[in-house]
Amino acid sequence: MIDFDRHLGIHPQAAMLRSQRAEVLAANLANADTPNYQARDLDFRAALENALGTGDGFDLARTSDRHLALGDGVGGAELMFRTPTQASLDQNTVDVQAERARFADNALRYQATMRFLDSKFSGLVKAFRGD
Amino acid sequence: MSLFNVMNVAGSALAAQSIRLNTTASNMANANSASSSIESTYRARHPVFMTAFDEAAEFGGELEEAAGVGVEVGGIIESQAPLRRDYQPGHPLADEAGYVFMPNVNVVEEMANMISASRSYQTNVEIMEASKQMLTRTLALGQQ
């Protein structure tokens, strides 16, 4: 009996977090000219550990819809503000070049995750066919 | 799905930057529009960018809303810099003393603004392109 979840490993969660990180970085780049905008990012390692349930992160139980969540984060990992390398006059902390590099890096790693998932699926198909 | 929201976020930036380019074009076009009174003189316009926070995100809502925030133009303000007052007695719009009022457009500043806006526009187009590739790759999952 094949356990699909175990066969795919961490890659589905990784893909989800990569796409959410792409969103956060795209938001930083979109707000590159917005005064007082604070660039944000997430600690991918901590977020993945949280998503897999292997980290030491915790969440508060919400027994009512009116309870406040612990904070806005991705997969249980909190979104953190970036420390600016250069101060800007309008208090914006987006470094466009650095954010673009991170976005490209993140996109590439997403593609790698997709490649892994692809080979997992083709392995499954091979097992089903049995030839 | 977050990758679709990347499109929305980048799209909001494209809209905002094109408004900025629009105001720059308007300012440059009217840089020398003379006028006979202070009230009727063109003043440089600039958009005010604001982060488009969702209401849900502000109250500790779900992450999907909180993570990707676009940009919106909160309004367009007119520059409060003093107008130029040129002595041109031969000008048809000159007042009794022979002065015309010229807009307070700083052409050098506008050029810098234009370049900044078009670079930001390009960046966001590339972000859209990259997220499109990521989405296409996801759709092609397991098809080989």
Contacts of A93 (CB under 8 A, 6+ apart): A37, A38, A39, A81, A82, A83, A84
Interchain contact, B13 vs A104, CB within 8 Å = no
Please, which residues bridge with residue A78 across strands?
A: A73
Whether the complex's predicted ipTM is more than 0.85 is answered with: no
Interface of B with A (CB under 8 A): 1-3, 5-6, 9-10, 12-13, 16-17, 20, 48-51, 57, 59-61, 63-64, 66-71, 116-117, 120, 123-124, 126-127, 130-131, 133-134, 137-138, 141-142, 144
Distance CA(A73)–CA(B97), nearest Å, equals: 65
pLDDT along chain A (131 residues), means of 10: 80 90 92 91 86 66 70 61 88 93 95 93 87 75
* pLDDT at residue B27 greater than cutoff 60: yes
Distance CA(A119)–CA(B60), nearest Å, equals: 38
Tell me how close the Cα of B23 comes to any Cα of chain A, in angstroms. Answer: 15
Interchain contact, B144 vs A27, CB within 8 Å = no
Which of A:52-91 have CB within 8 Å of B?
68-69, 71-75, 79
pLDDT tens track for B74-91: 999 999 999 989 999 999
Mean confidence (pLDDT) of chain B: 88
Q: Measured between beta carbons, which residues in chain A are less than 8 angstroms from residue B2?
A: 16, 19-20, 22-23
Q: Are B46 and B24 in contact (CB under 8 A)?
A: no
CA distances from A1 to A110, A127, A128 (A): 29, 11, 11
Q: Which of A13, A15, A12 is nearest to A109 (CA)?
A: A15
Tell me how close the Cα of B37 comes to any Cα of chain A, in angstroms. Answer: 34
Considering chain B, what percentage of its residues have pLDDT values greater than 90? 69
pLDDT at B64: 46
Least confident of A53-57, B9-13, B48-52, B113-117: A53-57
Residue owning tokens 């050098």 = B108
Q: What is the dihedral of CA A111, A113, A116, A122, to 10 degrees?
A: -70
Interchain contact, B67 vs A104, CB within 8 Å = no
Per DSSP, the residues of B36-77 read SSSTTS---EEEEEEEE--HHHHTT--HHHHH--EEEEEEEE
Q: Which of B76, B56, B52 is nearest to B64 (CA)?
A: B56
Q: Which of A5, A8, A1 is nearest to A123 (CA)?
A: A8
Q: What is the dihedral of CA A70, A94, A92, B7, to 10 degrees?
A: -70
Q: Are B47 and B19 in contact (CB under 8 A)?
A: yes
A98 touches chain B (CB under 8 A): no
What's the count of helices (H) and strands (E) in chain A, helices before strands?
4, 3
* pLDDT at residue B45 greater than cutoff 90: yes
Positions of E strands within chain A: 40-42, 73-74, 77-81
Counting beta carbons within 10 angstroms of the beta carbon of residue B97, is it exposed (0 to 12), middle (13 to 18) or buried (19 or more)?
exposed
